[in-house]
């Protein structure tokens, strides 16, 4: 089941204002309806109780009342508040124990470095995959068993007495989780996350500006050629096709949730514009000081290095859940960007016969 982010509210708790701001900005880019910010556990708990968000994202190190304290206190609230998905985002330290994370009632763990796509994948997954709630004298939180163990003969402490048998829970969770030794130390990992999220935010703005340049350049070219009546009918159709494509992609941006990989694909589409349009595009982009300043601010080398490590680690079974990024995708970790559009946003495909990009509805 896909997720419409515009119906979702998220609380972000992080003592680092810069990192918190990057996560908040990223969530807003993905069209999250409301994003609430907290700098420590106490303020996060009060915000949670008053705003009742659908997801909580918290760092571990957010003061004396830390992320672990926050999770335990949320799990101790009334029935309508205690079962919210809580995602722990943090870096590896000697104090970090996966067993403690599990026993504190966290739903998921994202260990730095992780990509923007990884965060949104897990947000989508926890909303689409409600876990049974367990309450006992020793533990309160989401069911820690992601599959049924046929050899287990103890009491069933799930809140509703249900079983996970024949459910949609991913069977691949039985694989052994990756050892924390694969991850860099906290400071290095968190710095990489800051690089990855900062690059995404800047890149998103750059591509949005490129689309506006491309759309304006295309419209100007169409107007000039119609006035001069110099172009063949087939060439005019091609230009109008590009104009339609820009509208569709810009609508994707308005709906939110364009992934990192999609940003690079859109840039490739922009590069295929006709030469006459390209000249106008280049003039507009070179004259835009804000655009050029954004472009110069990109840390491409740092981004590529951090992304390479983060993507490699995403292929490993998650230290808490035992799931890989593919497992999350297979079980509902894919967002739906089309819900806010009248009709559905078309997929843009390359037509092998014409060499032009076309929408799936053409």
Tens digit of each residue's pLDDT (9 = 90 or more) over 116-166:
999 999 999 999 998 889 998 889 999 877 655 555 555 555 544 444 443
Specify the range with the lowest mean pLDDT, choosing from 57-66, 188-197, 213-222. Answer: 213-222
Strand 9-13 relative to strand 34-38, pairing = parallel
pLDDT exceeds 80 at position 211? yes
pLDDT at 274: 82
Beta bridge partners of 9: 34
pLDDT exceeds 50 at position 45? yes
pLDDT at 42: 96
Quick: pLDDT tens for 273-324: 888 888 999 999 999 999 999 999 999 999 999 999 999 999 999 999 988 8
pLDDT at 156: 57
pLDDT exceeds 70 at position 181? yes
Contacts of residue 206, Cβ cutoff 8 Å, sequence gap at least 6: 291, 294, 295, 298
pLDDT at 21: 97
pLDDT at 157: 52
Specify the range with the lowest mean pLDDT, choosing from 25-39, 220-234, 290-304. Answer: 220-234
| Cα gap 197→303, rounded to integer Å | 9
Structural tokens at position 207 = 């591509």
Phi, psi of 298 (to 5 degrees): -65, 130
Q: Which domains does the chain have, with CATH numbers?
A: 5-183 (3.40.50.2300), 189-314 (no CATH)
8 A C-beta contact, residue 183 and residue 110: no
The model carries a pTM of 0.82
pLDDT at 312: 94
More confident residue, 157 or 334: 334
pLDDT at 350: 38
Specify the range with the lowest mean pLDDT, choosing from 72-76, 87-91, 229-233, 328-332. Answer: 229-233
Structural tokens at position 188 = 């290095």
Structural tokens at position 221 = 């070219």
pLDDT at 339: 38
> How confident is residue 191, by pLDDT bands cut at 50, 70 and 90?
very high
pLDDT at 222: 81
Handedness of CA 240, 244, 245, 246 (dihedral sign): positive
Quick: pLDDT tens for 339-353: 333 333 333 343 444
Of 321, 333, 318, 317, nearest in space to 122 by CA: 333
pLDDT at 106: 96
pLDDT at 261: 87
Of 110, 10, 108, 22, nearest in space to 55 by CA: 10
> How confident is residue 272, by pLDDT bands cut at 50, 70 and 90?
confident
pLDDT at 230: 53
User: What is the percent of the chain with per-residue pLDDT over 70, rounded to a whole number?
Assistant: 77
Chain mean pLDDT for the chain: 82
Beta bridge partners of 78: none
User: What is the percent of the chain with per-residue pLDDT over 90, rounded to a whole number?
Assistant: 54
Q: What is the mean pLDDT of residues 218-235?
A: 68
- For residue 164, count CB atoms less than 10 angstroms from its CB and return exposed for 0-12, middle for 13-18, buried for 19 or more: middle
More confident residue, 322 or 243: 322
More confident residue, 150 or 193: 193
């Amino acid at each position: 089941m896909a997720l419409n982010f515009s119906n979702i509210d998220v609380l972000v708790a992080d003592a680092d204002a810069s990192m918190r701001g990057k996560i908040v900005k990223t969530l807003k880019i993905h069209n999250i309806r409301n994003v609430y910010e907290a700098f420590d556990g106490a303020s996060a708990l009060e915000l949670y109780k008053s705003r009742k968000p659908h997801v909580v994202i918290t760092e571990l190190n957010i003061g004396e009342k830390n992320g672990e304290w926050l999770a335990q206190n949320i799990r101790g609230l009334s029935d309508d508040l205690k079962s919210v998905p809580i995602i722990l985002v943090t870096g590896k330290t000697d104090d970090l124990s996966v067993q403690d994370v599990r026993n504190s009632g966290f739903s998921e763990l994202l260990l730095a470095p992780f990509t923007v796509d990884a965060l949104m994948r897990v947000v989508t997954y926890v909303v689409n995959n409600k876990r049974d709630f367990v309450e006992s004298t020793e533990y309160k939180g989401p069911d820690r068993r992601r599959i049924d163990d046929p050899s287990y003969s103890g009491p069933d402490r799930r809140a509703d007495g249900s079983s996970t048998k024949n459910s949609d829970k991913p069977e691949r969770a039985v694989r052994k989780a990756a050892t924390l030794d694969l991850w860099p130390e906290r400071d290095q990992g968190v710095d990489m996350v800051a690089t990855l999220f900062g690059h995404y935010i800047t890149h998103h703005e750059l591509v949005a500006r490129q689309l506006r340049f491309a759309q304006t350049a295309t419209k100007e070219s169409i107007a000039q050629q119609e006035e001069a009546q110099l172009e063949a009918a087939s060439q005019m159709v091609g230009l109008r096709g590009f104009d339609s494509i820009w509208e569709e992609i810009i609508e994707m941006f308005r709906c939110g949730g364009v992934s990192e990989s999609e940003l690079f694909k859109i840039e490739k589409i922009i590069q295929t514009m006709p030469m006459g349009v390209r000249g106008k595009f280049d003039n507009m982009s070179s004259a835009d000081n804000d655009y050029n300043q954004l472009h110069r601010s990109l840390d491409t080398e740092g981004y590529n290095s951090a992304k390479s490590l983060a993507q490699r680690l995403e292929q490993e079974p998650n230290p808490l859940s035992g799931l890989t990024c593919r497992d999350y995708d297979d079980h509902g970790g894919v967002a739906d960007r089309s819900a806010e559009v009248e009709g559905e946003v078309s997929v843009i495909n390359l037509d092998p016969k014409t060499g032009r990009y076309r929408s799936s509805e053409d």
